[in-house]
Amino acid sequence: MTVPPVRYRAVAAVAFSTQRQVLWDLCYRMTGTVGDADMLLRDCFSTAAESPSVDRDGDRGSHLMRSAVMLSMAALRHRRRRHYVGCWLPSPVETGNAVSQALRPLSATAARYDTVESGSIAFLTALEALVPRERAVLVMCDAFGVDVQGAASTLGVTSAAARALLQNARRHMQRYDAASQPPTAHAQAQAAALLCDCLVNLQNYDAVRLERILAPDVRAMFDSGGEFVAPPRGIAGSGAVAKLLTKFASRTGPISFAFRMLNGLPAALGQCKERPRWANRFVIRIEAREDLASEVHVIMASAKLTAVRFDPI
């Protein structure tokens, strides 16, 4: 392969360094996985370094965004062609004290979702219903504030086509918009209280008390990627979920928990002594609705936990 001139690499490196976090955030929202976002960020720089870049900063930024979007769509298509064992959930990332403002802009051209909400597990899960091009347009326009013309230019389609893709994507997201609560300070406090109650009941193996804090139509999903023992599909209903969670806790042995803010909401990092076929590290998180847990997620796949810091036990 011909090595690009040094000046191309230097120009690309400067542009890349100023947009590195934005590009990673874009790739993460496009794919929902930390591993893919990390890989795509490296590929994005390589693509930029191998192509002569124009001198204007705005054009360099557009070139990098186009590379990130195109690479992300290809990665998303590739992932969806592969068979994933069991339930699929996004990779969690630590977000510290970040809080969603949950303010919908009055302008139709402004981003609909702020940085915290667009990186939430609920939002990333809802994006899975979109085809790659719809996902790209919605992420660019409604999460990053790119106008429709800019999105069209990035994808190499007409403005009318980009507008149609955005309308379809927003239609698919209506259920999310109606049912999901952005990770505001109130939502974080509500989830923290429910999560604490959930963990106490789990550690006591008390399925009866656990069931009382679960919504009747609660759904539980275990993402092990086929690496550990886990239900092959989601489990619904408060009674069934409570029994399953207490069984999971009892099978893994005594569990120590630490708390982190992951994707805008509190989550529990569980650790226990390693046992064959059972995960010794995992994340438990919930989604709350009307003071009850409406969803419970247990993320166990090792590849999904690379961005989470576990304390030694």
- Give tens-digit pLDDT for 87-143: 999 999 999 999 998 776 655 556 899 999 999 999 999 999 999 999 999 999 999
Token pair belonging to 19: 């947009």
Residue 3 confidence (pLDDT): 44
- Asked if pLDDT for residue 4 goes beyond 80, the answer is no
Q: Where are the beta strands (DSSP E) in the chain?
A: 214-223, 235-236, 256-262, 265-271, 281-289, 292-299
**DSSP secondary structure code for residue 94 in this structure:** B
pTM of the model: 0.91
Instruction: Provide the pLDDT confidence category of residue 9 given band limits of 50, 70 and 90.
Output: low
Q: Average pLDDT of the chain?
A: 89
Q: Which stretch of 27-31, 57-61, 170-174, 219-223 has the lowest confidence by average pLDDT?
A: 57-61
Length of the chain as a residue count:
313
- Asked if pLDDT for residue 1 goes beyond 70, the answer is no
Give me the phi and psi of 87, to 5 degrees please: -75, 145
- Asked if pLDDT for residue 2 goes beyond 50, the answer is no
